[in-house]
Homo-oligomer: A and B are copies of this chain.
Amino acid sequence: MTPGDDAYPRIRLYDIRKACSTCSLRELCLPVALGREDTEALDHIVERDHPLRKGDKLCRSGQPFAAIYTVLSGSLKSSTQGENGEDQIIAFHLPGELVGLDAIGAGRHHSTTEALETTSVCKIPFSRLEELSRQIPGLQHQLLRIMSKEIFDDHELLQVVARRSAEQRLAILLLNLSQRFGRRGLSRTRFRLPMSRHDLGNYLGLAPETTSRVFRRFLTQGLLSVTGKEIEFLDLPALQALTESPSAPPRSSKQG
């Protein structure tokens, strides 16, 4: 049952790199000048976890924090819960990305992470990683670096949710997903959205109906074609133009 035993043999960093060309574990380690020994040390703390089925929880809000994860295949969503049970999705996780960083240090998860489809992840026990990072100076810096990135991403999301129209929000998210798919070597213009319209809307601070309507508008305007969860960009420049606040009235900030 526990990962790391015979049924779920340890996998090597080498394998992870093969499995996922832009794996965050690579992101975590690559900029660091790791010697052969260091690499092996890292190899040995990585464990493969059970594959998750759609709806399975990787971790729940309030649970003690023990490990961070990197997505090998599939996808996940993380959400925080308001006191009323209404939740707010704060991130989607695609293959090659790290999960659970917001729990570092607090010792406890603040969010619940759930599989959007059949998903396999790779577990990195944090205590061991932290221990290791004391021995490998660059690794410690990498940890801080990645958390910093997380903060930056959150700020970008905030900016989007606080100040942009529904169309801009969706366009920005689609382009963002496009980039992330592209980085994995998949098509940047044609891909499958792993999340429901509901999740999409929740993440962007929109009602699901609005999300649906915006898709229709994009379709009508010839910006993209939508078939269920499959989408294809037909007019990338126009979508990017949307992003740059073409119709966005300059709110707040400064208005002379």
Q: Which residues of A come within 8 Å of B, CB atoms?
A: 80, 82-88, 90, 101-106, 110-111, 130, 133-134, 137, 140-152, 154-159, 161-163, 198, 201-202, 204-208, 244-245, 248, 250-254
11 A–B contacts from the bound complex (CB under 8 Å): A82-B163, A84-B244, A86-B251, A87-B253, A103-B148, A104-B145, A105-B144, A106-B148, A110-B152, A110-B155, A206-B252
Taking a contact as CB atoms under 8 Å apart, the answer to whether A141 and B105 are in contact is: yes
Taking a contact as CB atoms under 8 Å apart, the answer to whether A88 and B163 are in contact is: yes
User: A248: which of B84, B88, B137, B162 is its contact (CB, 8 Å)?
Assistant: B84
| Closest beta carbon of chain B to A163's beta carbon, Å | 6
Which chain B positions have C-beta within 8 A of A101? 148, 151
Which chain B positions have C-beta within 8 A of A253? 85-88, 202
Chain B: CB-nearest residue to A206? B252
| Interchain CA distance A87-B146 in the complex, whole Å | 24
| Interchain CA distance A251-B87 in the complex, whole Å | 9
| Closest beta carbon of chain B to A150's beta carbon, Å | 6
Beyond A86-B250, A105-B144, A158-B158, 15 additional contacts (C-beta under 8 Å) are: A86-B251, A87-B253, A90-B155, A105-B141, A105-B145, A105-B149, A106-B145, A111-B155, A134-B140, A140-B140, A143-B144, A161-B161, A161-B205, A198-B252, A202-B252
Which chain B positions have C-beta within 8 A of A106? 145, 148-149, 152
| Closest beta carbon of chain B to A28's beta carbon, Å | 12
User: A151: which of B154, B159, B204 is its contact (CB, 8 Å)?
Assistant: B154
